[in-house]
Amino acid sequence: MPGQQQVSAARPYGGPGSISPVESIHEDTTAKWFMLSAITYFFIVGIIALTIAAKFVWPQLLGTVSVLTYGRLRPLHVNGMLFGWLLAADMGLAYYIVPRLCGVKLWSEKLGVATAVIWNIIVLGAVVALPLGYNKGWEYGELPLPLTALVVVAWVMFGANIFGTIATRKYEQMYVSLWYIMGTVLWTAFVYLTGNVAVYFTTGVNQANLNWMYVHNAVGLIFTPIGLALAYYFIPKASNTPLYSHKLSMVGFWALAFVYVWTGAHHMLHGPISQWLQTIAITFSLMLLIPVWTVVYNFFATMKGQWYQLRENVPLKFLMSGVVFYLLTCFQGPMHSLRSVNAIVSKTDWIPGHAHMAVLGAFSFFAIAGCYYAIPRLFRTELHSAPLANWSYWFLMIGGLGFFVTLWLGGFWQGWQWNNPSIPFIDTVRALKPVWTVRFFSGILMFLGITTFLYNIMATVLGAGSSHETAARPISA
Amino acid sequence: MLGKTDKSAVGFVVAALVFFFIGGILTTVVPPLVDKSWSKPFENNDPSKGPTGKLVQYTPEQLKGRAIYVREGCWYCHTQQTRTLLSDVKRSGWKGVDSPISTPDEFVYDSPHMFGTKRTGPDLSRVGGKYDTQWHRTHFRNPRDLTPGSVMPPFPWIVDNPEEFTALVAYIQTLGRSKNWRPDNDYEK
């Protein structure tokens, strides 16, 4: 087994530390457009994020302007981060990874660029529509119908390009990142249609069940598999170490494929939905520990003897911190689904702490690492500043931890107070004020991290054209 | 079967979809077929079986108010479900009377559903009839005038639009009213 896994992990990669001849076949226009627009939206939507965090501390802030009220900006924050930043960055990195793992050019660069254009129209459309109050009223499914339709069109174009590239691949055996990306393409299609189209034909609890199937699997079967595809590709690449086990990665993948989709109803525990469905959701939520621990074990085992690289290697810092956050968030998730724990933490501020650890701490960290790794290579240059990249890591890390930990503590405390009905509700709101203040200042640190990330990437890209002699130079990791 | 899926893209696609659809269908298509209360509107005339009452369709004005509730994102901070927890039943209660728990048959006419996931503000599943129009007017203009410490945003553009304000209040007053559970000393009784 060790021999085989070394081959399968090492073969798709070019020679370490240099541009292989294979590298020069890639045009990568699509990958560049997706990544650069995603990073820009990360910054812009970060401003929205800070604004709504500030509104918890100063509720009158911008309060008389309807388009800037909390209920209009929150969906823009959520959709902007999920679709404008994270999914776009993930797609851009998929356009980078897939041709390289297949040893061929992207199936159609023209189709890819058209997809990037549509994706930008979707995000800009959301920036206009959501503050104006065009909100379909389903969580994660807020985008107005025309934009929803464009998402479907763009996704089909993305899928055609991915599968087209894979169908024309040179290497027969597909590395694990390819399965995860293919899985994402397939599952997202059905999950998205469930949460944005099927809901129209239902009402009440039936509709909520479909909505939560989508909400849960937006994370579980969209961001998780494509995020893990990045981690499986970039951890061996950034550390220049073969993946520990091909077979183990397979166990993790098929366990995820089977288990995740069952768990949507855990969003309505104790709520008005059939008890037996709640129990099924709880059971499968606990089974999620199997794929998660399998994947995390594989990553940790890959790093055995390589941990010293974390001192200097910023992409690897983001990747391995992301793995730790993934492990933690996916331990929290199954635990929240236990009825006793759920009775305390559900609907409290604990939950945004948990959700941000998944989407920012784990999956955004993977995408940031991918961008730091791929963008200098795409532009045949070196990263503008390694120390600045390190600063962006620490800003995001400390800000992120401040955000997660204070919301967990505050949310748990809030949940205990709610369970004592003699405490008036408003007292439980007042009690959270210090927590929300710390959250806001943690948000400022996170925003500094995003800003330095954006600046570093843009300086890299803009500097690439001006120094031609670097183009021929080998790239160091 | 799965051993070959890392070499065959077609085999992979088939397996990935089969795995997905087993759980997908059993948890989304099957439950409403099994549990009829998901689609049958609440109606009970027998006090021995719990609160009596009947769920009725929203009026056009109430629907208009509901659309405003959706538009303003009220549902990001207010849930609409009295869960099977003692504290929920107490907190949704009124003047010493516990509220009945929320059941699927109370939400049959709701689309988009407004169950919510986060309680930055209190749950609203039984708020109907608790506060009069004047209270809501003052509260929407500036929540902190009535509830010091509240973090709810002010909504002057709704209060200043009589048509929208009336519709929104009409919707709010329907919440949780299909079950007759309210205390005898309620001002509305």
Q: Is A171 on the interface with B (CB under 8 A)?
A: no
Task: Give the tens place of pLDDT for each residue, A116-171.
Answer: 999 999 999 999 999 999 999 999 999 999 999 999 999 999 999 999 999 999 99
DSSP class of residue B54 equals E
Would you call B17 an interface residue with chain A, using a CB distance cutoff of 8 Å? yes
Q: Which two tokens stand for residue B38?
A: 């998901």
CA distance A263 to B58: 32
Closest CA to A112 of A62, A158, A144, A50: A158
From chain A residues 347-406, the ones with a CB under 8 A of any chain B CB are 347-349, 351-352
Q: Is the pLDDT of residue A469 over 70?
A: no
Domain spans in chain A, listed from the N-terminal domain onward: 26-463
* Chain A contact for B26 (CB, 8 A cutoff): yes
Instruction: Report the amino acid identity of residue A461.
Output: V
Inspect the interface and report whether the beta carbons of A172 and B150 lie closer than 8 Å. Answer: no
Chain A positions in Cβ-Cβ contact with residue B150 (cut-off 8 Å):
59, 426, 429
The reported pLDDT for the residue numbered B1 is: 56
CB contact under 8 A, A71 and B38: no
Q: Which residue of A has its CA nearest to B111?
A: A203
- A433-464 and A365-378 helices, crossing angle to 10°: 10
How many CB atoms lie under 10 A from the CB of residue A376? Answer: 21
Please answer yes or no on whether B6 and A173 come within 8 Å at the CB atom: yes
Q: How far is A218 from chain B (nearest CA, A)?
A: 13
Q: Rounded CA gap, A473 and A229, in Å?
A: 29
Q: How confident is the model at residue A22 (pLDDT cuts 50, 70, 90)?
A: low
Residue A465 confidence (pLDDT): 66
Distance from the B18 Cα atom to the nearest Cα atom in chain A, whole angstroms: 9
Residue A475 has pLDDT above 60, yes or no: no
Name the pTM for this structure.
Answer: 0.93
Kindly state whether B108 is in contact with chain A, defined as any CB-CB distance less than 8 angstroms. yes
Could you tell me which residues are beta bridge partners of residue B94? B97
CB-defined contacts A:B, below 8 A: 225
Q: Which residues of B touch A70 (CB under 8 A)?
A: 73, 76-77, 153
Integer Cα distance of B187 and A227 in angstroms: 56
What pLDDT score does A13 carry?
Answer: 39
For residue range A267-282, list pLDDT tens digits in order.
999 999 999 999 999 9
Q: Give the pLDDT score at A21.
A: 54
Cβ <8 Å between A174 and B71: no
CATH number of B46-172: 1.10.760.10
Chain B positions in Cβ-Cβ contact with residue A267 (cut-off 8 Å) = 117
Condensed to tens digits (0 to 9), the pLDDT of residues B18-36 reads: 999 999 999 999 999 999 8
The answer to whether residue B122 neighbours chain A at the CB level (below 8 Å) is yes
Inter-chain contact B120–A429, Cβ cutoff 8 Å? yes
Interface test with B, best of A61, A101, A135, A205 (most B CBs within 10 A): A205
pLDDT exceeds cutoff 50 at A474: no
User: Alpha-carbon distance A84 to A213, whole Å?
Assistant: 22
Q: Which residue of B has its CA nearest to A209?
A: B28
Rg of chain A, C-alpha, whole Å:
22
Distance from CA of A43 to the nearest CA of B (A): 23
What are the backbone dihedrals phi and psi of residue B6, each rounded to the nearest 5 degrees, phi first?
-85, 0
CA distance B124 to chain A (A): 12
Q: Does A420 touch chain B (CB under 8 A)?
A: yes
Chain A interface includes B160 (CB < 8 A): no
Q: Which residues contact B23 (CB under 8 A, 6 or more apart)?
A: A258, A259, A260, A261, A262, A284
Confidence (pLDDT) at A141: 94
Token reading at B189: 């009784």
Q: Which CATH superfamily is domain A26-463 in?
A: Cytochrome c oxidase-like, subunit I domain (1.20.210.10)
A398-412 pLDDT, tens digit each: 999 999 999 999 999
ipTM score above 0.85: yes
Model confidence at A20, pLDDT cuts 50, 70, 90, reads low
User: Which residue from B72, B115, B119 is facing A71, i.e. has the nearest CB?
Assistant: B72
pLDDT for A207-262, tens place per residue? Answer: 999 999 999 999 989 999 999 999 999 999 999 999 999 999 999 999 999 999 99
- Dump pLDDT digits (tens) for B27-79: 999 999 999 889 999 999 999 999 999 999 999 999 999 999 999 999 999 99
Q: What angle do CA A136, A140, A146 make, to 5 degrees?
A: 45
Phi, psi of A197 (to 5 degrees): -120, -50
A58: CB partners within 8 A, 6+ apart: none
A416 in B contact zone (CB under 8 Å) = no
CB contact A190 to B (< 8 Å): yes
- Give the whole-angstrom CA distance, residue B189 versus residue B173: 14
Residue A250 neighbours by CB under 8 Å, 6+ apart:
A176, B2, B6
Smallest CA-to-CA distance from A332 within A345, A317, A319 is with A345
- Nearest neighbour of B113 by CB, restricted to A190, A204, A426: A204
A279–chain B Cβ distance below 8 A for any pair? no
B59 at interface of A, judged by CB pairs closer than 8 A? no
pLDDT at A19 over 70: no
Shortest CA gap A178–chain B (Å)? 9
Q: Where are the domains of chain B?
A: 2-34, 46-172
pLDDT, residue A464, reads 78
CA distance B189 to B184: 6
Q: What is the pLDDT of residue B189?
A: 64
Residue in chain A nearest B68 by alpha carbon: A133
Distances (CA, A) of A460 to A84, A315, A465, B58: 21, 15, 9, 58
CA distance A388 to chain B (A): 37
Q: Copy the structure tokens of residue A323.
A: 């793995």
The rounded radius of gyration (Å) of the Cα atoms in chain B is 21
HEC letters along chain A: CHHHHHHHHHCCCCCCCCCCHHHHHCCCHHHHHHHHHHHHHHHHHHHHHHHHHHHHHCCCCCCCCHHHCHHHHHHHHHHHHHHHHHHHHHHHHHHHHHHHHHCCCCCCHHHHHHHHHHHHHHHHHHHHHCCCCCCCCCCCCCCCHHHHHHHHHHHHHHHHHHHHHHHCCCCCCCCHHHHHHHHHHHHHHHHHHHHHCHHHHCCHHHHHHHHHHHHHHHHHHHHHHHHHHHHHHHHHHHHCCCCCCHHHHHHHHHHHHHHHHHHHHHHHCCCCCCHHHHHHHHHHHHHCHHHHHHHHHHHHHHCCCCHHHHHCCHHHHHHHHHHHHHHHHHHHHHHHCCHHHHHHHCCCCHHHHHHHHHHHHHHHHHHHHHHHHHHHHHCCCCCCCHHHHHHHHHHHHHHHHHHHHHHHHHHHHHHHHHCCCCCCHHHHHHHCHHHHHHHHHHHHHHHHHHHHHHHHHHHHHHHHCCCHHHHHCCCCC
Contact of B38 with chain A, judged by CB distance below 8 Å, is answered with yes
In B71-131, at which residue ranges do the beta strands (DSSP E only) sit?
Answer: none
Structure tokens given for A376: 């200098």
